[in-house]
A and B are shown apart, each in its own frame.
Chain A
């Protein structure tokens, strides 16, 4: 049973460029959440997708957008990259059962460097 997978593992971009990160959830999971982890900090919630819709959003600008496909995989898009967007981007999958206790499984992350 494959866990959460993310691609690419590493990415280097320059300021102003756009980037797309991809995530495939754990088999049987229907909800994908994205987190940004800056160096030395804990992960911060970006947004969550369920049934192909953004269900919740953290305190991130509109430059951050996403998508979920019918097979539950998801993309995170970031436009007009800034140096401060350099971070580890984590995808977490879970079952959306309307409770607080569903474990979220994290993928290995995509390490984005903006030069």
Chain B
């Protein structure tokens, strides 16, 4: 079983739409959670960390449900520039795996005009 499971999409939405991505993780000892964004043929870049209380950064809202081992990302008022692959990332963060990031396969988003 993979550490992080994500629906690969693709998601195709018009500008202004609201879109939600979900992922699940398998290790209940996981400590840190992130969403990374990766543009075509570029490196992943941190979009936002995800906290237990949920957090928001402009049009982006991330939620974490530790009981269900579920992470979500909500994008409101989608822009053309949001088109990218969104990677769900978990850091188990203890013992021999400290600092190792586990990535989902990514969810591809295309926003059309």
Contacts and interface: CB of A to CB of B under 8 A. Distances in A.
A43 B44 CA distance: 9
Nearest to B4: A42
Nearest to A38: B105
A86 to B, nearest CB: 14
A41 B43 contact: no
Contacts of B80: none
B94 A100 contact: yes
Contacts of A107: 43
Nearest to B108: A40
Give the size range of A's interface with the partner.
20 to 34
Interface in B21-37: 31-32
A100 B106 contact: no
Contacts, number: 67
B99 A33 contact: yes
Contact of B87 (A40, A42, A55, A104): A42
Interface string B4-48: 101010000000000000000000000110000000011111100
B45 A106 contact: yes
Q: For A55, A90, A103, A104, which residue has the most chain B Cβ atoms within 10 angstroms?
A: A104
Interface stretch (A14-22, A68-76, A77-85, A91-99): A91-99
By Cβ-Cβ distance, the 9 closest A-B pairs, closest first, are A100-B93, A42-B103, A106-B43, A100-B31, A100-B32, A42-B105, A100-B91, A45-B100, A43-B103
Interface of B: 4, 6, 8, 31-32, 41-46, 49, 87, 91-94, 96-106
Interface of A: 31, 33, 35, 40-45, 48, 55-56, 58, 90, 92, 94, 96, 98-104, 106-109, 111
28 contacts: A33-B99, A33-B100, A40-B8, A41-B106, A42-B87, A42-B104, A42-B105, A43-B101, A43-B103, A45-B100, A45-B102, A48-B99, A56-B97, A90-B43, A92-B101, A96-B99, A100-B31, A100-B94, A101-B31, A101-B32, A101-B49, A101-B91, A101-B93, A102-B99, A103-B46, A104-B99, A106-B44, A109-B42
